[in-house]
Amino acid sequence: MPSEKIPDLDRKKRLYLKHVGVKGRGVFCRTAIRKGEVLEVAPAVILNQDATRHADKTILLNYTFMVGNVSKSQRRRAGLKKTGKSSCVIMGIMSFCNHGEHPNAEILWEERGGTIYYILEATQAIPKNTEICTVYGRNWFEDRVKE
């Protein structure tokens, strides 16, 4: 079996958190960012269905991400029965990116060497001192209104 290249954990220098009113804290950049630039690579902690249910009753609800189609070995290791009922916590600053109607970055993920890594990448040029926003998903806000 060929060895997998495990990504380096990395974060662009000069990112910072700033309070942005009703949205809470957001991620901003002190320097301009190029389209396609990787702003952060960070690992995630996977929560099985039970842990997700518990996390959803806490402030972590707003900082968890859906688990994608992970490998059988990853599902077994994390005790996942259904990935649709499980979540993860990203161990990086990208967890503080707010939703934007016109996002300037996206969060991608990949599985390498038995770990899930999330990658924050600019989808357009971002001027300095601009908030870095992603899309939370079509139903994210509606699901919270129901609660």
- Does any domain span residue 2? no
Structural domains of the chain, count: 1
Comparing 2-11, 46-55, 73-82, 104-113, the range with the smallest average pLDDT is 2-11
Domain that holds residue 43: 10-138
pTM, full prediction: 0.85
CA dihedral 125, 129, 134, 136 (to 10 degrees): -170
Site of tokens 């991608």: 108
pLDDT band at 1 (very low <50, low <70, confident <90, very high): very low
- Does any domain span residue 121? yes
What CATH code is carried by the domain that includes residue 124? 2.170.270.10
- Does any domain span residue 146? no
- Does any domain span residue 35? yes
- Does any domain span residue 144? no
Tens of pLDDT, residues 2-37: 457 888 899 989 999 999 988 889 999 999 999 999
Tens of pLDDT, residues 54-77: 999 999 988 888 888 888 888 888
